[in-house]
Amino acid sequence: MTRVADWDVRLAAFLRARRAQGFAWGQRDCALFAADWVKEATGEDPAAAYRGKYRTAAGALKALRRQGHGDLAEAVTAALGPPLETTALMGRGDIGQVQSIDSAFEGALGVCAGADIAVLSEDGVVLLPRKAALKAWRV
């Protein structure tokens, strides 16, 4: 995948537009938030096979398994390639996985916004410190 030339301008607009959007499984969840950013940055939709296929946490897990993935990190790796050797290599616009409050997944996906990772919560986008990242993938 190659990012579009103005990806950095698009990143600011993307995060601003989603600031107040709340969480909804299968519409606005962490995986689709990250996938929407990848689609915006590259023109490729890594979640095309998942869109409209689930409405609950259990449904999301079933959708992952239907696509042959045991967990969310495995699905991201299939779409974006292997995780970075260390999360310290994560740059703006890359995807990070942080510890999730929801025990259904090993972690929530977010978008690196520089010093922070933007993650979708019930109340909209929240910023977590980069050091909260468990894994990261280059976009």
Domain assignment present for residue 39? The answer is yes
Tokens 């897990």 — which residue? 61
Number of domains forming the structure of the chain: 1
CATH code of the domain covering residue 29: 3.90.1720
pLDDT tens-digit series, residues 104-139: 445 899 999 999 999 988 888 989 999 989 999 999
Which range marks the domain in which residue 100 is found?
Answer: 7-137
How far apart CA 74 and CA 78 sit, in angstroms, is 6
Domain assignment present for residue 1? The answer is no
**In residues, how long is the chain?**
139
> What is the number of other CB atoms lying within 10 angstroms of the CB of residue 131?
10
HSE-CB of 87 using CA atoms within 13 angstroms: 19
Domain assignment present for residue 19? The answer is yes
Q: What is the dihedral of CA 51, 138, 126, 24, to 10 degrees?
A: 10
Domain assignment present for residue 2? The answer is no
Mean pLDDT on 34-38: 98
Domain assignment present for residue 62? The answer is yes
How far apart CA 124 and CA 22 sit, in angstroms, is 4
pLDDT value of residue 102: 53
pTM attached to this predicted model: 0.92
Domain assignment present for residue 50? The answer is yes
Domain assignment present for residue 113? The answer is yes
Which of 102, 104, 110, 107 has its CA nearest to residue 127?
A: 110
